[in-house]
Every structure is written in C-alpha cells, then in structure tokens.
Amino acid sequence: MKKLREETVPYNTGWAGELKKGQVIRISGTTTVDFVAFSIQNLRERFDQARTKVYNMKIFISAGDKLMSKSNQHLMTIVEDTYREGTHDLQKGTCSGYRFQLAKQEGRLREYYHRDFKDEEIPDHGCWENLSQALKPYGIAPEDIPSPFNLYQTMKIDGVTGRMEHTAIRPRPGTYVDLKAETDLLVAFSACPDLPVGGKPVGVAIYEP
C-alpha cells in the first residue's frame, strides 16, 4: 500500500478527513479512539452502532467485519486489527465535559472510571467537543454526530445481566486497526481523554491500495 498522508493527533483533540472508495485509514493507538464515518455523497448517511452490531451479529467487531450506516449501507470493512489484548466497543457514546461534571456531581467518578480524581485532573472537554470541532467545517451539527465505534475501549460486559464495566485493558504500543472505505467517506475521530487510563496521542495514516 502507498502511504498518502500520516499525522499524529494530540491527546484530547479531534481529526477529520476524506477517504476515497478503496483507500485505507490506519489508526494506531494505545488508548481509546472514538471513530465515526459519513457518506460524502450524503452526510446524513452515517455510521450506526445498532446496524453494525446486528449486521455482524456481535457486539465486538474486528478484522473482516463491516461498519454499517443508518440505512444499512456498507461504509467500511475492518481489514486488519492487531489489538489482541482486548476488544473494541460498540455500546458507548462520547465522553464530554458535561459528562465528567455530571459524574462528579453525582459522586460516581470512581464507579465509572475506577479511580479518584483531583478537580484539575477532570478535563473540561472530551470526544463530544473534539468531534464537534473536527466536523464543524463540513457543516455537521454536534447532535448529528452518531455514537461512535470506540477503538481500543475494552469493556467487560456480562452476557446475562447486561452489566457493563470499564476496564484498564488497552493496546501495546504499535497496535493498529486498518479500515477500508467501501464508498467515498468523511471520517473523523477523537483521541479520547480516556479517564480510566489517561489518554495518549493517536497516529493516523491513509493508504492507497
């Protein structure tokens, strides 16, 4: 594959870019990355967590699985996934400044994130704000950003009760996921502040097949 572009996206910021059909985006990370995709022909046609889970008939997706849109179109295929230690998440929405403050007010920071925080450690923004900012130039309103595909966010889910827990399981350095565009796309992601473990910068590269 020929590399067309490569960047490092700083901790707790967002990134957006366009992919032509057949191009591959490689996202390298050691902490959570909230990823979304839209059809460039119709930006209202966007990634959908529920359609993706049902199409693949599972809640954890990996190499060979597809990302589906709201009207059941193939948006992307995961062509490679080197994350072996854990799984990616399709349950959660985005974190946000408001979300962190709500958890603090309700005294639930430890329940959600498994550790205590000093006030200055609580970020004033998160993936919601990062994705909103990154997608603003494309005219996408924050409320039209779908709940993301949360790469490297390993959740423990009880299959009987449905109870979900965050874990601190994250990838080793050098881990990446390759996603191939099945149509022309606008894609965006946020390098999550990832409160359970502390966010890190995220690598992104685009390849021509």
Candidates 5-13, 66-74, 115-123, 192-200: pick the segment binding Zn ion (CB under 5 A). 192-200
Decide if 181 contacts 23 (C-beta within 8 A).
yes
Per-residue x/- marks for Zn ion, 89-108, CB under 5 A?
------x-------------
16 binds Zn ion, rule: CB under 5 A: no
Which H or E run includes 103? helix 97-105
Per-residue x/- marks for Zn ion, 41-80, CB under 5 A?
----------------------------------------
Query: Over 149-209, what HEC string results?
Result: EEECCCEEECCCCCCEEECCCCCCCCCEEEEEECCCEEEEEEECCCCCCCCCCEEEEEEEC
202 binds Zn ion, rule: CB under 5 A: no
Cα–Cα dist 138/177, whole Å: 25
Among 68, 103, 187, 192, binds Zn ion (CB under 5 A): 192
The Cα angle at residue 95 between residues 90 and 100, in degrees rounded to 5: 140
27 binds Zn ion, rule: CB under 5 A: no
Per-residue x/- marks for Zn ion, 126-165, CB under 5 A?
xx--------------------------------------
Residue 115 corresponds to which amino acid? R
Decide if 12 contacts 199 (C-beta within 8 A).
yes
Tell me the site size for Zn ion, rule CB under 5 A.
4
Candidates 8-16, 62-70, 120-128, 166-174: pick the segment binding Zn ion (CB under 5 A). 120-128
- Based on CB atoms, which residue is closest to Zn ion, 55 or 112? 112
Decide if 135 contacts 44 (C-beta within 8 A).
no
Q: Which residues bind Zn ion (CB under 5 A)?
A: 95, 126-127, 192
